[in-house]
Structure 1
C-alpha cells in the first residue's frame, strides 16, 4: 500500500503541484515570520545587552502612590544621593543620567530620527564611558552638543557645524563639539541621540539639579548582587529601587521579546488564514484525485485491502506532498525573513547587525505545519473513499450525495450560521471588552456555517447570472451548468476566495467609517483654526502659548495644560485653559448648565459627572500636587470625546500649583481662518521648529487617516497571500475539472464547438465561481464591519456606518480578475485537447 501511495504521487505530479504550492506559501509565511521576528529580536537583545555592559547597578526613583488627598509624586535623585551611592563599599564610580525628547533638524530643516526616536541626554564630565568620542571634545554650556555617529553620517553634520534643535518648543542653535558612538537600541533603529553637558541637560529637561537615574560601576572583585545589597543598605528604600545590570538586560530582552510577539502573532494570524484557505484546495484536490481513482481503490478493496489501508494510502500521499511543501516552504521562509529585514532598511528603519536566526523551533514548526495541514485536509476524502463498498464503486452508484447527507449538511450549516449571527448580534449590545469573545466565536461559526451552506447557495446565486451568460451563447450556457454540476467542489473553490474578501471588506468598512467619524468629531468639537503640539505629543513649553497669543492675526488662543489632582479620594487629571478664549475655540455639546470656565467655575464631562454624582451647581474640592486645595463649582456638564474630556478649569487657577507647567496642545484661531499663509506665519513665529506641528482640522484628520491607511495597506498586503492561494485553488479546480471532462469536451469539439468557444466556456465557468465567492465575501465583510462598528459607536458618538461602494465594486472586479487569470492555463489546455483521444479516454 505504501508503494502504491508513492506511485500515485508520482503519477499525478502536475495535479499535485498546485497543492504543493498552496501549502508551501502558507508554510513560507509561517517560517518567514518566525525567522524575521527571531532575527530582529535577537539583534535588539544583543544591542541592548551591550548598552548595559557599563552599568552594574542602576538606582531609580520609587514612585510614591497617591493617598487620601495627597497627589502621588516621583522622588528626586539629588546630588547628595549620587555622592552617597559613589562612596558605597564596592562602588568604583557613579554617574547621573538625564534624558528626554530632543528633536534635531537635518540640513534640510526636517526632523531627524522620527517623532518617537529623537532623544537627548547628558554627557558626564570631560569623559563618559557610556559614549566614547570618535572626534571632537565634550560639550560645555548651552552652546555646544554632541551627536551620535550614525546621525552624523545620515545628516552630514561634522564637528564645528551649527545645528537646530528643540527640547520642548523654543529653538536652540548650538555647535557640534564632538561625535560619539553608542549601543543605544533606538539609535540602531534609526533614531538620533543628542548629548548636552549635565547642567544644561538638567535645565532643559526640567530636572533642576536632579537625575532620572544613577548608574553605579562595581569595583574590581565586587559582584553586581553584592553591590546592589550594599546600595540597598545605604540608600533610603522608600525613595529608590536598585536593579543590577544583568536584571536590566534581562528585563530589556523580555520587553523586546514581548514587543516582537505582537508583530509575530499578527503575521502568524495572516499565515493561518492563508493555510486555512489552503486546506480547501488540498481537500478539493484529494477529493477529485480520490474520485478519479474510485474504481482503482474499489479493486484494491476487492482483492483484500481493508478500509484502514485505503485511508492510510491516501494519507501517505498527503504526507509525501506535505513533506515536500514543508521543506520548500521552510527554504522560502528563510528567504522571506531575510528579505523583510532588508526591506526595513530600504524604508529607512535601521536594524542592529546580527545573524539570520533559524531556530530548531522554526524548522519543526514549518515541517509540522506543512505535513499536518495536508494530512488533515486529505483525511476526510480518504475516509470517504474507504467507506464506499467495492461493488458500488465499480458501478459509480456512489457518485451522488444521498438526500440524507444533503439534509444533514444543510441543517448543520443553517444551525452554525444562525448561531454565529445570534452571537455577533448579541456581542453588539455588550461592552467592548466583554464582546470580544462572543464576537470572535460568532464570526467563526458564521463563516463555517456559510461554508457548509455554500453548495446550497451556489445554485440560486449562480442561476442569477444566467441572463448575462446567455449573451455568450452555448459557451455561456455550458459554463453555468458546469459551475453547478458539482456544488461541493464549486463551494470549496469559492470559499477560499470568500474568506480573503470577507476580511478585506470588513477592514475597509471599519476604516472608512472610523475616518468619517473622526472628521465629524474634529469638526464638531473644535472651532480653532489650528492645533499646535510637539511632534512626539510630549509637553510644550508655556513659552509657545505666549508667542502664539502675541502673534499677528491671532484673535484667540488657549493652552491645554495638564495637572494631577485628588478629588473625593480619586485621582483626576485637570485641564487648564484660557477661560476667556476657550468658548471661541471649542464647540462641545453641553447637556447640563453652561460651558463657562473662569475663576472657581469649571466644566466636567459626562463620565466624571456620573462617577462623582455631579450636576450643574455642584461643588467639589480639588487637592493639587503642591498639597494645596481649591473649592470649585461645576458650571456645566458636556459630552467628552477623544479630543477633549475630563475636568476643564481656568489655567490661572491650575498653574500656580504646578511645579513644572507644560502644555499638551495650544489651540489657535486667526482672523483670516485656516490658510497656507496663516500657517506659514505661525510656524515662523515658532522659529520654523522641526519639533512642533502646526495642524488645521484637515491636517489632524489626514494624520489619523494616514495611520488607518498604513494599517489597511498592511492588511491588504498580508491578505494578498490568501488571495494568491485562492487563485491556485481556482486553477487547480479548473484543471482537474478539464481532466475529468476530457471525453465531454472531445464530444463537444466533435459536434462543432470550436476551440475559441471551449476557452470561453472554461473562462466563464471560472469567472462565475470567482464572482460567487466574491459576492459571499463582500456580504460577510459588510456584516462584520457593521457589527464591529456597533461596538465603536458606544464609545464614539459621531460614529456612523459608511459603505465604501467604490472599493467594494473594485473588490468584486478583483474577484472577477482572479477568475479570468486562473482560467488562462486550464482554458488553453481544454482547447488543445485532441478530440479523438479525448473521446477514447476512460
Structure 2
C-alpha cells in the first residue's frame, strides 16, 4: 500500500502541482516572516549592544513613581555637581554627561530626513584629550561653539552635506542654520534604524534640550577590575532625589527586549495573514484530494476487493498527502528564505536596518515542515475517510455513491445553525461596551456557517446569472449546468475566494467610516482655520505662537500646552489654552456651563468622563498639585462631552505656564481674518521660516493626512491579503483543470456533435467566471455586514461621529477583481479542454 501510494503521487504529479503551489505559498509566507523578523531582531540587538559597549553604569532621572510626595511633573535633570561627583568615584575610569532631544534635519532640497522619533540631537562631551569616544570623527572636527554641528555618516550620505556646508534644521519650531564642521561614525541603534543624529557643542546642547549646567543622563565607564554591579553600588551614594543608577548590561537587555516586542508584533501580524493563506489553501487541498479519490474510485475498489482494509486505503491517501506536504514545505522554506533576503535588501536600501547576517533558525525549518505537512494531512483526511467507505461492488462499476439526502439535510442544518448563531453573536456584540471577543467569535462562526451552506446557496445564486449566460447560447447553458453539477466542489472553490474578499471588503468599509468620522470630528470641533505642530508632533517652541499672533493676517490664536498634575492622589494632565480667544478656535459640546471665567485664571472646563470620576459639578472646587510641586485651587466652570480630539481639563495658560519647568506647546490653533487660503498659508509658513519640520494644516490638510495614513495601512493589508487571493486563484485553476480531465469523455462527445473549440473554451471560461463571481458576491456581502458590525463597536468605543460608509467604487473594483480571477484562472484549463482529441476523449473510461 505504501508503494502504491507513492506511485499514485508520481502518476498524478501534474494534478497535484496546484496543491503544492498553494501549500508552498503559505509556508513561504510563514518561513519568510520568521527568517526576516529573526534577522532584523538580531541585527538591532547586536547594534544596541554595541551602542552600550562604552557604558558600564548610567545615572538617569527616575520616574518618581515610588516617591508619593514628589512633584507630578517630570523629574529634574542631573546637574554638573552630580557629574563632578561621578568622575571622582573610585571605580569610575571616566564619566560623560549626556543631553539630547528631538532635532529635525532637512536635506539640500528642504525635505526632512530621518525617521520620526529617531531624529535626535545630542552633545559632544569632550574628554581631557578633546575627543568623545562615543562619536569618533571620520571627517573634520567636533563642534566647539554655537552655530557648529557634526552629522552622523549615514545622514551625511543621505543629505549630501559635507564639511563646510550649511544645514537647515529645527529643534522645537524655529529654523536654525548651522555649519557642518564634522562627520562621525556611531553604533547608535536609532541611526541604524534610519534616524539621524546631530551633535552640538556641550553648552549649546544644554541650552536646546535642558538648561545650562544640566544633563539628561550621566554615563560611567568602569575602571579596570571594577564590575558593573560594584560601580552601580558606588554611584548609588551620589544619586540626587528621584534619580537611579542602571548597569549598561541592563540598558542593553531592556533595549533588546523592546526590539523583540516590536518585532513580535510585526511577526504576529504577518503570521496571521500567512494563516489566512493556509486556511484558504485547505479548501484547495481538500478539493484536490476529493477529486483525485473520485477519479480513482475503481482503482480503490479493486484494492478493497483484493484484501485492502479501510484503514489501509485511508493511510494510502494520507501518505500521498504527506508526500505532497513535504515537497511543498521544503520548497516553501526555500522560497521563504528568498522572501526574507528580498525584504532585508529592500529595508536596507531604505536605510532603516543595521548590518547583520541572515538568521535561519532550526525552529524556522521545523515550523515550515510542520505547517506544510500538517495542513496538507488535515485537509486530506476527510477525502481519505470517504475513500475508505467506497463500497467495492458499487465502485467496480464506477458508480460512486452520491451524497445522501440525510447527509445533505444534516449539512444544511448544521450550516444554518452555525451561520445563524454567528450572526446573532455579532449583532449582540455590537451593543456591548467591549465586544471584541464575542465579535471575533461570531465572525468566525458566521464564516464557517456560510461555508457549510455554500452548496445550498450555489444553486439559487448561480441560477440568477442564467439570463446573462443565455446570451452565450449553448456554451452559456453548459457553463451554468457544470457550475452547479457538483455543488460541494463549486462551494469549496468559491469559498477560497470568499474568505479573501470578506476580509478585504470588511477592512475597506471600516477604514472608510473611520476616515469620514475623524474628518467630521475635526470639522465639528475646530473653528480655527489652521493647526500648527511639529512634523512628528513633538513639543513646539512657544516662540511659534508669538510669531503667528503678531501677523496682520491672524485674528486669534491659542497654544495647546500640556503639563502633569496630581489631583485626588492621581496623575491628571492639564491643558493650557488662551482663555480669551479659545472660544473662537475650538467648538466644545457643553452639557453645562461654558468658557466664561477661564480667562480669569482659576476656572477650568472639564470633560464629563473626568468629572464623573472625581464627582465634580459646575462650581465644584478641587485642589491641584502642579508639576513644580506647588498647590492651588481650581473651580469647574463648564462640562463638555469629550471626543477623540478634545478631552481632559483645560485652563488658561497664564495659570499653568508658571508651573512648567520648560514651556512647550503640543500645537497652536490659528484663526485668520480672511479664512483659509493658499496665500494665507504661505504667509504663515514664511513667518516660520518655511520650516520643513513644522506643519501648517487647514481642515482639508488634516483630512487628507488621515486619508493618507488610512490608505497606507489599507494598502499594506491589501498586499498581505493578496497572498490569500493568489492561493484562491490557484484553487480555481486546480478545480477547472481536474474538472476538464474528469469530463474528458463528455467534452469529446460535445466536440463530436458540433461544439467547436471556441465554444469549449467559452464554456470553461464562463464556468470559471460564474464560480468566481459567486465567491465574490458572498465575500462582499459578508464583508459589508462584518464591516458594519465592527463600525458599531468603534462608535461605542468613543468615535461617536462614526457612520457606515459604503465605498461603492471599491466594491465594484472588488467584484471586478473576482471576475478577473475567474477569467485568468480559466486560461489554461480552457485551452487544455479545447485541445482534447475528440476520438481519444470519447474512448476514455
Shorter-chain TM-score bucket reads over 0.9
Correspondence list, 1:95-494, <5 A: 95-125=96-126, 126-232=130-236, 234-236=237-239, 239-346=242-349, 348-432=350-434, 435-494=435-494
Q: Is the Cα contact below 8 Å between 1:69 and 1:623 reproduced in 2?
A: no
Deviations 1:384-417 (A, max 9, x none): 1102221232245543101111111111111111
**Residue 518 of structure 1 corresponds to which residue in structure 2?**
518
CA distance in structure 1 between the partners assigned to 2:647 and 2:779 by the alignment? 39
**Residue 744 of structure 1 corresponds to which residue in structure 2?**
746
Q: CA RMSD in A?
A: 1.5
CA distance in structure 2 between the partners assigned to 1:238 and 1:558 by the alignment? 35
**Residue 769 of structure 1 corresponds to which residue in structure 2?**
771
CA distance in structure 2 between the partners assigned to 1:623 and 1:442 by the alignment? 48
**Residue 583 of structure 1 corresponds to which residue in structure 2?**
583
Q: Is the Cα contact below 8 Å between 2:79 and 2:214 reproduced in 1?
A: yes
CA positional deviation for 1:80: 1.9
CA distance in structure 2 between the partners assigned to 1:275 and 1:570 by the alignment? 48
SS state at 1:812 partner: helix
Q: Is the Cα contact below 8 Å between 1:606 and 1:638 reproduced in 2?
A: yes
**Residue 815 of structure 1 corresponds to which residue in structure 2?**
818
Q: Which deviates the most, 74-83 or 198-207?
A: 74-83
Q: Is the Cα contact below 8 Å between 1:69 and 1:567 reproduced in 2?
A: no
CA distance in structure 1 between the partners assigned to 2:150 and 2:325 by the alignment? 57
CA distance in structure 2 between the partners assigned to 1:631 and 1:103 by the alignment? 39
CA distance in structure 1 between the partners assigned to 2:143 and 2:376 by the alignment? 64
CA distance in structure 2 between the partners assigned to 1:781 and 1:264 by the alignment? 25
Correspondence list, 1:401-800, <5 A: 401-432=403-434, 435-596=435-596, 597-599=598-600, 600-794=602-796, 795-800=798-803
CA positional deviation for 1:235: 3.0
CA distance in structure 2 between the partners assigned to 1:175 and 1:253 by the alignment? 35
CA positional deviation for 1:534: 0.9
CA distance in structure 2 between the partners assigned to 1:330 and 1:133 by the alignment? 44
SS state at 1:94 partner: strand
Q: Which deviates the most, 204-213 or 772-781?
A: 204-213
CA positional deviation for 1:222: 1.7
SS state at 1:698 partner: helix
Cα 1:706–1:825 shift into 2, 3 Å: same
CA distance in structure 2 between the partners assigned to 1:375 and 1:142 by the alignment? 70
Q: Is the Cα contact below 8 Å between 1:69 and 1:566 reproduced in 2?
A: no
Q: Is the Cα contact below 8 Å between 2:98 and 2:122 reproduced in 1?
A: yes
SS state at 1:216 partner: strand
CA positional deviation for 1:511: 0.7
Cα 1:645–1:33 shift into 2, 3 Å: same
Q: Is the Cα contact below 8 Å between 1:555 and 1:669 reproduced in 2?
A: yes
SS state at 2:576 partner: strand
CA distance in structure 2 between the partners assigned to 1:549 and 1:212 by the alignment? 33
Q: Is the Cα contact below 8 Å between 1:138 and 1:177 reproduced in 2?
A: yes
Q: Is the Cα contact below 8 Å between 2:77 and 2:210 reproduced in 1?
A: no
Is 1:20 the counterpart of 2:14 in the alignment?
no
CA distance in structure 2 between the partners assigned to 1:392 and 1:68 by the alignment? 88
SS state at 1:833 partner: coil
SS state at 1:799 partner: coil
Deviations 1:295-349 (A, max 9, x none): 1111101111111111111011111111111111111111110111122244x24
CA distance in structure 2 between the partners assigned to 1:318 and 1:495 by the alignment? 21
Deviations 1:200-248 (A, max 9, x none): 111101244222111100111222222223323x234863322222222
CA distance in structure 2 between the partners assigned to 1:306 and 1:241 by the alignment? 74
CA positional deviation for 1:572: 1.6
CA positional deviation for 1:420: 1.1
Q: Which deviates the most, 783-792 or 160-169?
A: 160-169
SS state at 1:648 partner: strand
Q: Is the Cα contact below 8 Å between 1:63 and 1:75 reproduced in 2?
A: no
CA positional deviation for 1:618: 2.7
CA distance in structure 2 between the partners assigned to 1:309 and 1:202 by the alignment? 80
CA distance in structure 2 between the partners assigned to 1:484 and 1:398 by the alignment? 18
CA positional deviation for 1:155: 1.4
CA distance in structure 1 between the partners assigned to 2:705 and 2:763 by the alignment? 49
> Unaligned 5+ residue runs, structure 1?
none
Cα 1:745–1:318 shift into 2, 3 Å: same
Cα 1:353–1:534 shift into 2, 3 Å: same
Q: Is the Cα contact below 8 Å between 1:616 and 1:637 reproduced in 2?
A: yes
CA positional deviation for 1:632: 2.5
Q: Select 1:826's aligned residue among 800, 824, 829.
A: 829
Q: Is the Cα contact below 8 Å between 2:585 and 2:669 reproduced in 1?
A: yes
SS state at 2:115 partner: coil
CA distance in structure 2 between the partners assigned to 1:688 and 1:820 by the alignment? 52
CA positional deviation for 1:566: 2.0
SS state at 1:430 partner: coil
CA positional deviation for 1:590: 1.5
CA distance in structure 2 between the partners assigned to 1:550 and 1:72 by the alignment? 31
Q: Is the Cα contact below 8 Å between 1:770 and 1:815 reproduced in 2?
A: yes
How many residues matched?
838
SS state at 1:173 partner: strand
Cα 1:13–1:236 shift into 2, 3 Å: same
SS state at 1:129 partner: coil
**Residue 5 of structure 2 corresponds to which residue in structure 1?**
5
CA positional deviation for 1:70: 5.0
Q: Is the Cα contact below 8 Å between 2:593 and 2:638 reproduced in 1?
A: yes
Q: Is the Cα contact below 8 Å between 1:420 and 1:443 reproduced in 2?
A: yes
SS state at 2:232 partner: helix
Cα 1:85–1:532 shift into 2, 3 Å: same
CA positional deviation for 1:834: 1.1
CA distance in structure 1 between the partners assigned to 2:443 and 2:402 by the alignment? 31
**Residue 42 of structure 1 corresponds to which residue in structure 2?**
42
Q: TM-score by structure 2 length? A: 0.97
Q: Is the Cα contact below 8 Å between 2:606 and 2:638 reproduced in 1?
A: yes
CA positional deviation for 1:284: 0.3
Q: Is the Cα contact below 8 Å between 1:270 and 1:719 reproduced in 2?
A: yes
> Unaligned 5+ residue runs, structure 2?
none
CA distance in structure 2 between the partners assigned to 1:643 and 1:266 by the alignment? 28
Q: Is the Cα contact below 8 Å between 1:315 and 1:382 reproduced in 2?
A: yes
CA distance in structure 2 between the partners assigned to 1:674 and 1:701 by the alignment? 14
CA distance in structure 2 between the partners assigned to 1:800 and 1:172 by the alignment? 45
Cα 1:633–1:420 shift into 2, 3 Å: same
CA distance in structure 2 between the partners assigned to 1:815 and 1:560 by the alignment? 49
CA distance in structure 2 between the partners assigned to 1:589 and 1:393 by the alignment? 75
